[in-house]
Amino acid sequence: MDMIDKIGVIGAGQMGSGIAQVGAAHGHDVVFLDISQERVDAGIAMISTQTEKLVSKGRMTADERDALLGRIKGTVDYADFADSDLVIEAATENEEIKRTIFKTLVPHLKPDAIIATNTSSISITRLAATTDRPEQFIGMHFMNPVPVMKLVEIIRGIATSDATYQVINRLSGDLGKTTAVAEDFPAFIVNRILLPMINEAVYTLYEGVGSVEGIDTAMKLGANHPMGPLELADFIGLDTCLSIMNVLYDGLADSKYRPCPLLVKYVEAGWLGRKAGRGFYDYSGDTPVPTR
C-alpha cells in the first residue's frame, strides 16, 4: 500500500480523540470506535469542543470545523473497519486489552491494511505476534495532546516491513508531525527518559526532600520545563505513569526503574491525576492545590 486514505481509530479517550481529530483535519475519513456508544459520543464531543476553541481563536473557520466533524464516523462495530487502510489502536495501556482488541480486529480487515498501536511502552514485536500481519504492524506513538504536540515516535517490530515503515513515516509528515524512530525496547525514547524523571520527582517528594510545589517550581524555573514533573504526572495520569514504570522495571530488570511506593499508593487510592480530580494536586477548586 502506497497511500493511506481511510483511517480507523480504536479508543475514544483523550489520545484516540486527538488522533481522530488530526486525521480528519488533514482530509482523511476516520472511523472512530469504542466499546460503547456513550464513550464514542463522549469522544466526538471532545473533538467538537476542541475544534470550537480553534474556531473561536480564528485558527479554523466554522465550515472547516463542520467538514472535519463530517469526516468522523463513530461506531461500536469492528466490521466498520472493513475498508480502512490503517487502523490505529489507542486503547488503555494494558497489554491484555490490546491483544484482545487485535484478535477482534483482524478478521474484519482487508489484506493490505496496516495496524498501528499508540502504545507508549509495550513491545511492538510481541503485540504484532497476536495478529495475522506482523510485517504490516508498527508502533505509532503520538504525544498528548495530539493536535498540539509535533512528535510521533515510530517503532518497528522485528517483523515490520520497510514498506510499512515508509508508508507510516510519510503519513506522519502528512499529518503535520515530525518523526523520531525508536528501537523496540521498553518505553522507547520519550518515556524511557521522561518517566524515570517523573518517578525520581515522586521519590524526592516521598523522601521529604521537597514539597509538591517546591519540586515543580524548581524544575520549571531551574530547568526551564514548561510543566513541573508532578504536574505533568497528573496530566499524563498516575496509573499510566505507574504502568510505564512497571514495563521498564519488568523489561529491563534494573532497580533504577523501581516505581516509587508513593506513586503506587496514589494509584491504589484512585488519585490518578487530573482525570480523577485529584493526584499530586487537588483539582476540585478554581486553582489546583497540592495534596502533599
Helix (H) or strand (E) holding 152: strand 151-156
Angle, helices 190-206/261-268, rounded to nearest 10 degrees: 90
118 is annotated as an active-site residue: no
153 is annotated as an active-site residue: yes
48 is annotated as an active-site residue: no
CA dist list (Å): 284 to 40, 226, 231, 275, 281: 26, 23, 15, 11, 9
Catalytic, out of 141, 172, 231, 243: 141
CA dist list (Å): 169 to 44, 56, 108: 27, 32, 25
Cis peptide bond upstream of 147, omega within 30: no
Compute the half-sphere exposure of residue 48: CA atoms within 13 Å on the CB side of its CA.
9
Catalytic, out of 84, 120, 123, 172: 120
Catalytic, out of 153, 172, 231, 243: 153
Catalytic, out of 84, 118, 191, 199: 191
121 is annotated as an active-site residue: no
CA dist list (Å): 87 to 22, 34, 92, 143: 14, 13, 16, 18
* DSSP annotation of 273: B
- As a whole number of angstroms, the longest Cα–Cα distance in the chain is 56
Q: Which residues are catalytic?
A: 120, 141, 153, 191
